[in-house]
Amino acid sequence: MMTTQTQEYFFQFPAIRCYQGGRVQYMICAPMNMLKRIMAFDDAGDVMSRSQREVHLGRAKKVTGYLTSGYDNKTDYMLPTLVGNIDGVVRFEEAEGVKGGLGTLFISMDAIIHLFDGQTRSRGIIDYITARKDSPDTITLLLTEGLSLKARQQFFADINNNASKPATAISMAYNHKDPVNALVRQIVIAVPALNGRVDYEHNVVPAKSDLLISFKALHDATRKMFGLRASDEISDVLRGDAINLWKAWSKALHWAWLTENVGPALYRTRHIGTHGVMVNAIGIASAMMLEHHDAATIANLLNRNELGCINALSPFVHAEWHGVCVDAETGTVKCDTPAQNRAAEKLLAVFGLSPEHPDAWLRPSFDEDVSDELVSDMVEKVTKVAAEKKLDLAMLKTAIPERIAGNGETVKPVLLNMRRLRAWISEQFPQTDAE
């Protein structure tokens, strides 16, 4: 006579037993290297036959990268609790003499655990632990038992419907691992017009807020200004250039004066100068200028072309930006990429800035065998003579290329010699000679 003995095999975890809505729950802390063994992915088949969305492989990869980077660089990292249900035999043994539902949870090895919150996170964890097998990391799980498919689906909906994703602005402001975020925080502190006037909590500053611009807009604009990507290292030179440029722009647009004398909320109702589209336009316009000018030159040009406080209002009324970044019919301010690019072009025009190389007006007058250095030397000498003789440099930039057309080789030695250049300009433009 044969006898058959059935024996259950269990995973065993220290756990806390608790209750919500009359239903038992278990909180366990599992080694990450066990997650693949105890969890079943719930993303196959018809969507109504499961209680989870498909695993988002792109986000899972980011989770893996986040954990791997933290582990390798010995920096802090944290992942929230995974939430799921156990379908199988479960036994809980409460610890003797200990209050608070502390004990040991036994989960049958043939039980199935389906997550209804954190499935993509778990995929990233599994890939991380596969690559870093020596990691001692653990992950907490909050588990129910014996839920029906309908109940699991409802909890998935409840968790996601009640969740409130924070604004990107505050996530950026609180992210101390990204050097670009650190740079923007330093800009806020270093630029007087921005210190204490930046909204860290909203991507778009609320209409009635007394804050000037949003941290997100400043962040996005600074990235565009220097072509930065997330996690790019920031050099001391770049940091200094960024602070100087934002100081110059904030002064040129009179942000401090507007805050004190007009008020950001009232200013926003009729003017475009502090909207997100304009902040981004500043970043794009600066990037265009930086192609051929250094930051100090741009700042000097802005200071030279600075508008008076009261006069700074009129160029930025909504009507002046119709068809650029303001809808003429509805008055709606647009902030899409085309609107930002159009606004950047107009912003340069408002301040009389040209992104062209400073020598661009003279460069076409000579063949390629004349180096850029020589052309720059000529431009510098013409600029000095114009200042000496109090001549209109803009007029000379138009007239000189016309006078040397076809005679570049003849005029070149003249433009490279200050004495001969003074005599030539006096001869060519006698009516404007100050002598």
What does the H/E/C string look like for 353-376? CCCCCCCCCCHHHCCCCCCHHHHH
Give me the percent of the chain exceeding a pLDDT of 70: 91
Per-position DSSP letters for 239-273, written without gaps between them: HHHHHHHHHHHHHHTTHHHHHHHT-HHHHHHHB-T
Instruction: Extract the runs of DSSP E, i.e. beta strands, from 186-332.
Output: 198-199, 213-214
What tens digit of pLDDT does each residue of 254-308 get? 999 999 999 999 999 999 999 999 999 999 999 999 998 999 999 999 988 666 6
Res 45 pLDDT > 60: no
- The Cα 356–Cα 145 span in angstroms is 68
What tens digit of pLDDT does each residue of 6-23 get? 457 899 999 999 999 889
Going by pLDDT thresholds of 50, 70 and 90, the confidence category of residue 309 is low
Tokens of 63: 């989770």
- The Cα 191–Cα 112 span in angstroms is 57
Give the residue extent of every domain in the chain: 10-162, 168-350, 363-432
Q: Does the predicted TM-score (pTM) go above 0.85?
A: no
Q: Are 194 and 188 in contact (CB under 8 A)?
A: yes
- The Cα 123–Cα 32 span in angstroms is 11
Q: Which amino acid is at 73?
A: N
- The Cα 42–Cα 55 span in angstroms is 9
Going by pLDDT thresholds of 50, 70 and 90, the confidence category of residue 43 is low
- The Cα 359–Cα 377 span in angstroms is 9
- The Cα 235–Cα 262 span in angstroms is 37
- What number of CA atoms fall less than 13 Å from residue 82's CA on the CB side? 30
Mean pLDDT across 118-130: 91
Q: Are 236 and 182 in contact (CB under 8 A)?
A: no
What pLDDT sits at residue 285?
97
What pLDDT sits at residue 53?
61
| CA 99 to chain CA centroid, nearest Å | 48
Mean pLDDT across 346-357: 91
What pLDDT sits at residue 95?
92
Task: Give kind and range of the element (H or E) at residue 289.
Answer: helix 276-290
What pLDDT sits at residue 1?
35
What pLDDT sits at residue 44?
54
What pLDDT sits at residue 78?
93
Mean of pLDDT over the chain: 87
Mean pLDDT across 63-89: 93
Span of 99-103, 202-206, 366-370 with lowest mean pLDDT: 366-370
Going by pLDDT thresholds of 50, 70 and 90, the confidence category of residue 410 is confident
What pLDDT sits at residue 201?
92
Backbone angles phi, psi at 251, to 5 degrees: -75, -40
Mean pLDDT across 101-123: 90
Q: Are 202 and 167 in contact (CB under 8 A)?
A: yes
Tokens of 391: 């001549």
What tens digit of pLDDT does each residue of 177-195 get? 889 999 999 999 999 999 9
Mean pLDDT across 35-49: 64
What tens digit of pLDDT does each residue of 213-223 get? 999 999 999 99
Tokens of 79: 């992942």
- The Cα 255–Cα 279 span in angstroms is 12
161 CB-near residues (< 8 Å, 6+ apart):
none
Torsion of CA 301, 303, 305, 307, to 10 degrees: 160
- The Cα 15–Cα 416 span in angstroms is 85
Span of 56-70, 161-175, 244-258, 306-320 with lowest mean pLDDT: 306-320
